[in-house]
Amino acid sequence: MKIGFIFYSESGHTLSVLNQLEKVYKNKGHFVEKISLYEGYDIKKRILTYFPKANEYDLVLFASPVQAFSLAIPMVQYLEHVELKKEQKTQLLLTQHFKRACFGGNRALRQMKKAIEGYNPVILCEGIVHWSSKERELQIEQIIAQFGSAMDE
Ligand SMILES: Cc1cc2nc3c(=O)[nH]c(=O)nc-3n(C[C@H](O)[C@H](O)[C@H](O)COP(=O)(O)O)c2cc1C
């Protein structure tokens, strides 16, 4: 399968989870492309100028941090313009500081889903890593197991 990870990561948390996922997918024989929005985002002006293609993948994983109790702005701006295949297989990943999803994680997931709903995507799995949680490593392990096994179905 050709898989695209389209992600934003400011301090490297989200990217570090993706790096682990990438290994798992590659071990299963998939081809993975990691595409960062970071370089295409002007943090001061809050403008994203880089809109990589997403409709050439069998699976697209969107990943982002939560910022200000919402989906981070570059991912919001990206998803406003993204073109997907109809019924695109997707996976959604978020990282956030707080231990509970009610502090922005749930909202950010809803924003992601709303932005792409017109394509009627098949969302294989979704997950949030709570960075300040004592359970963080376990959460990452579970997400990797869940996301990885969704590929086998
Ligand atoms: C400007 C800003 C706003 C943030 N707002 C939230 C928030 O509302 N809720 C939360 O749980 N974490 C918040 N965080 C923490 C990040 O979501 C968290 O550290 C995330 O794992 C960072 O991922 P990254 O290193 O991939 O950018 C915020 C971080 C920044 C820089």
Say if ligand 1 is within 6 A of residue 136 CB: no
Q: Output the pTM of the full model.
A: 0.98
> Cα–chain-centroid distance for residue 98?
18
Of 39, 30, 79, 36, the closest CA to residue 58 belongs to 30
Domain that holds residue 131: 2-150
At 57, which CATH number? Answer: 3.40.50.360
Quote the ligand 1 centre to 89 CA distance (angstroms).
26
Q: Which of 13, 41, 67, 130 to mutate to test the pocket of ligand 1 (most atoms within 8 A of CB)?
A: 67
What's the pLDDT score for residue 152? Answer: 72
10 lines ligand 1 (CB under 6 A): yes
Residues in the chain: 153
| Low-confidence spans in the chain with pLDDT less than 50 | none
Ligand 1 within 6 A of CB of 38: no
**How, if at all, do strands 2-7 and 70-71 pair?**
unpaired
Give the closest residue (by CA) to ligand 1 atom 17: 96
pLDDT of residue 68: 98
pLDDT in tens, 84-117: 999 999 999 999 999 999 999 999 999 999 999 9
Q: How many structural domains comprise the chain?
A: 1
